[in-house]
Structure 1
Amino acid sequence: MKPLQEWDEAFLDQHFVKGKIQESNALDYKDSRSLSKADTKELCKDTSAFANAGGGMIIYGITEDKHEPTGIDQGTDRTAITKEWIEDILTSNIRPKIEDLEIVMVPLPSKGPNQVAVVLRMAQATAMAPHQNEKDNKYYRRHNFKSEPMRDHEVRDAMRRSIAFGRKFGLAWNILVEVRRLRAAAAERYAMPGNGHVPRTTLIIGVSNDLRASGEAVIFLEKKDRKALSVLAEVDGYNSIIETVDQGQRENARLTEALKRKLYEIELRARDIANKLEAIIDSYE
């Protein structure tokens, strides 16, 4: 599908109307006249309902019959209903504010120079869920093509998911900082000359108490991302060798090719873990 910012009247007609894309729990068609300054309750209710469910899109300007698109209506006058006005209404009347929300005015030149279809696209609420419509102090969700009030257990479940998401993000960030430090330490030692003896302490890779104590925290991450602690075993194995190799040298040790290979493997593992943790953090943003 075209990027939302590139949509035009022809795309709305070809993709949605002629393509017979039916309404769903992720798509709602609305008459342009329902976007009115006289009554903003439905705008706030429907927008918050989508965010509280799985996210989705509302298109003001496409008519429908039994959930199937029938055409493009006369559109909205963009000089009367502006993007800024819609943003202000939603920001002022939905709590918490919906973070991931796009509002796009699609020109409808066949309907007039100022006429537009208005598209609202919102992602599923995560860290800020659920969103309350302050017009009536209710929580709504999209279900069976309608915006329905959420039941008590649904509101509680959404709040629990929100807390878990925020906790997961914080844990991912804390572990990422430590894993990056391990990766840098491994790379620094790998770059050291391997011929001469150097103080053992310069070869040892320190592991913070925070990372060692992250075992319980890791269970909040996805199963496929719970590799943060696996690198610790490799670091401990490397450190154990450094502490026992070249005993005749007492305080000194030599970085052998075998040890360099271990450092290389530690750096690769740490990089892989860091990439997975960064993906979690990016999903929050």
Structure 2
Amino acid sequence: MSTPAMFVHDAQSRDSRPWRDAIADAARAARLAELWLTMGWYDVRQRYSRSVFGPFWVTISLAVFVAGLGITYAALFRVPVVAYLPYVTVGMVLWSLISALLNEGAATFTAATAAIKQMPAPIGIHALRVVWRNLIILAHNAVIVLIVLAACGVRPGWAGFAALPGLALLLLNGIGWSVTLGLVGARFRDVMPLVANATQMLLFVTPVLWRAGDLGDRRILAELNPLFHLIEIVRAPLLGAGVPLGSFAVALAVTALNLGLAFAFYTRLRWRVAYWL
């Protein structure tokens, strides 16, 4: 009887090519799409178990918030409601996605402790799981955008599909945040409340409730905010303003840096996560 072949990873061979192992591990996580898609869908169902409206409760609360804020701030900024309401609606829907990706990203691996300890699968599936379940919530919230754009007479037409590449970049950043913040958050539990507080502050310094043009000569303060560009590459096409090429270039650079940092962390730290949990 022949002995089955066994592939052994020793420390020396692993350390000699850590980036190759990380790429193979990430590719394996991506191939397990059925697993993380199912887990993300189950997360959404479990969160709203026994609820009549389910995830639409998030949509309803966001719609009420946007309606009250849009009318009040339109009067405060002295702009027509039909001009301001679509702007703030798209901005808040995208901000709710960014906020969730940052906050849930910091808890990517701590929230999946049982699965990581019991299931022999790459930990990268949990980063993909976070992004997928928030994409499901975004699909529900998109109903608000469609209603507001139609009510305010905004017709982006085919040009509105130019928002899809921007959304793809935003989701790629979500994967990067989930990996980097998730790994650091697994080691240092202070990261989660720190991110939660920082996210609240970032809402007020990012052009979501106000427009970058309102800063006048100080618009540079908005331009230096990478979150502004990630939002603008999706919001501008939906509002019929075309693709902001400058913001798109900045978003590409930010995405590359974000994913590069995430890959570096994933290469060095993914082996330790199970011991930190």
TM-score by length of 1: 0.24
Q: Whose strand proportion is higher, 1 or 2?
A: 1
Q: Whose helix proportion is higher, 1 or 2?
A: 2
Higher relative contact order (CA 8 A, sep 6+): 2
TM-score by length of 2: 0.25
